[in-house]
Amino acid sequence: MRELWKKGAAELAALIRSRNVSCREVVEAHLSRIADANANLNAVTVVLSDTALEAANAADRALKAGEPVGELCGVPFTVKEGIDVAGSASTHGLAPLRNAVAQKDSPVVAALRGVGGIPIARTNMPEFGMRWHTTNAMHGATKNPWNSNRTPGGSSGGEAAAIASGMSPLGIGSDGAGSLRWPAQCCGIAALKPSHGRVPIVSSGPFPFAFQLLAALGPMARSVDDLRLAFRHMCGESIGDPWHVPAPLEWPSVKRPIHVGVMVNPGGIGVHPDVARAVDSASAMLSDAGYVIEPREAPLLQRVSEIYVQIMSRFGRISSEPQRAPVGLVSAEFDEFWARFHLPWERAAGEVTHDPMMERVTIYLEWAELLNECPLILAPIATEPAFRVGEDLEPEWGERWLSALRMIMVPSLLGLPSVSVPVEFGSGMPQGVQIIAPRFREDLCLEAAHAVESRSLIVPAFEFTPRGAR
């Protein structure tokens, strides 16, 4: 019972409601775990101990008085540094923003606070969130809890590492090009990228169109049940997001058994054996759970990535002209990364169309037809496993990585929900898959992800001794 930091959000909430533990005990257990683990992993950047303990004490008083409390009463959660938490700086990994203290919570943070959740810490991210490995000049690099020689992913890499190592049972990250799903794959946790418009994301401006369309905020946790618990509270009203849709969380049941389109090697672009084995294993698990498995091809996959790159490149800025970061704003390492990556990125745009949104509709119709036949898609997240630290600075990496990212870009471009769930181990590292559903059918992909999770042998990173991390 004392190792409360090993427990998930739902279990902690139940223990608190039953008065078996106090909110303060839960918060103190996670603060202690951060003190023990973060020196090795560098996942947490700021510990909100004073405000977290104050909130825990207030929650305990409310419980003692018999006052009504929220479903997440006393449950700590962590928040990526690119998402606003009132009274804490949203640095986006940039040292000049270390004093950019948010005056109010992001809608998703406010939503979890509103049901009793307690922000306990902020987590690391790469500069601008524009890298698939987590490091920056201000806080340094986050280590993968399984193997410090492998990336924890990015841009929500600090969040994934904190959750995987028990520093937090629940977290909030963001995803524009896999920033929830890719770190989940690297660190062996679960994550949900919601449908476009499902969870409020725009709370202040300026906010470029590309991010309005392609980005999402979502929960990260060690279990699918905890994703579901957090997600249903993150979909509340928003007066700041013009895209927000108050869609129902539950829909009429689809015809059973549900057909799953499986894409082991999407587009025939090549897939690492560890990744392929994870998809095959998840396919067998879903079959065992009563799903009908059908091998399928990914429609227009190359064009998906090309249109994604065109929209992000053209409409992902707050000014009309492309600009390099001012000297001193980013690290020399980020400058080196971008110097190597920007040319492959520009080439990835393919044939430039005058109206990428028009072509996006054509792509969407192809995928909608597929999802009408197979309401779920099982596929790799990235087609490569967690890469070596420093590999993304090597000359040939950019071209290969953009190819590996294509299935990550499908839900982002088309606004579809996707759950990342760990499946098995490959070469000493956890390996996960993503399950994609039609828009607003998070319920379907969460249900399928739970079926996979309940049949997998993955256990938390803190049950192992990470290679090279001590």
Structural domains of the chain ordered from first start: 4-463 (3.90.1300.10)
Q: What is the pLDDT of residue 317?
A: 82
Distances (CA, A) of 46 to 31, 68, 80, 121, 180: 11, 31, 10, 6, 20
What integer is the mean pLDDT of 89-98? 95
Q: Please say if the pLDDT value at position 397 is more than 60.
A: yes
Catalytic member of 7, 80, 143, 193: 80
Radius of gyration of the chain (CA): 21
Which residue in 88, 148, 155, 313 is the catalytic one?
155
pLDDT single digits (tens) 3-39: 999 999 999 999 999 999 999 999 999 999 999 999 9
Give yes or no: 7 in active site.
no
pLDDT given at position 469: 42
Residues contacting residue 35 through CB under 8 Å, at least 6 positions apart: none
Chain-wide mean pLDDT for the chain?
Answer: 95
Average pLDDT value for residue range 194-200: 97
Dist. CA 139–CA 122, nearest whole Å: 12
Q: What is the mean pLDDT of residues 147-176?
A: 98
Q: Is the pLDDT of residue 396 over 90?
A: yes
Least confident of 108-122, 399-413, 454-468: 454-468
| pLDDT score, position 322 | 60
Nearest to 136 by CA among 329, 361, 357: 329
Which amino acid is located at 401 in the chain? W
155 is catalytic: yes
Label residue 390 by pLDDT band (50, 70, 90).
very high
Q: What's the pLDDT at 465?
A: 54
Q: How much of the chain, in percent, has pLDDT values that exceed 70?
A: 96
Q: What is the DSSP string of 387-426?
A: PBTTGGGSTTHHHHHHHHTHHHHHHHHHT--EEEEEEEEE
pLDDT at residue 237 is higher than 90: no
Residue 470 has pLDDT above 50, yes or no: no
255 has catalytic annotation: no
The mean pLDDT value for 439-452 works out to 98
Q: Would you say residue 188 has pLDDT above 90?
A: yes
Query: In the prediction, which pLDDT does 49 show?
Result: 98
Whether the predicted pLDDT of 133 surpasses 50? yes
The predicted model scores a pTM of 0.97
Is 50 exceeded by the pLDDT of residue 124? yes
Does residue 294 surpass a pLDDT of 90? yes
Q: What is the per-residue pLDDT for 468?
A: 44
- State the catalytic residue, choosing from 148, 156, 165, 179: 179
C-alpha separations of 154 from 25, 141, 151, 159 in Å = 31, 11, 8, 9
Question: 350: phi > 0 → left, psi -120 to 50 → alpha, else beta; which?
Answer: left
Q: Which spans in 72-168 are helix H?
A: 107-114, 157-164
The alpha carbon of 324 is separated from its chain's Cα centroid by a whole number of angstroms, namely 27
The residue among 93, 20, 40, 88 whose CA lies nearest residue 465 is 40
Predicted local distance difference test score (pLDDT) of residue 238: 80
pLDDT, tens only, 254-274: 999 999 999 999 999 899 999
- Compute the distance between CA of residue 178 and CA of residue 133 in angstroms, rounded to an integer: 12
Which residues, including other chains, have CB under 8 Å from residue 412's CB and lie 6 or more apart? 175, 176, 177, 178, 193, 214, 215, 216, 308
- Backbone phi and psi for residue 228, each to the nearest 5 degrees, phi listed first: -60, -40
Query: By CB neighbour count within 10 A (0-12 exposed, 13-18 middle, 19+ buried), where does 128 fall?
Result: middle
Residue 389's pLDDT band (cuts 50, 70, 90): very high
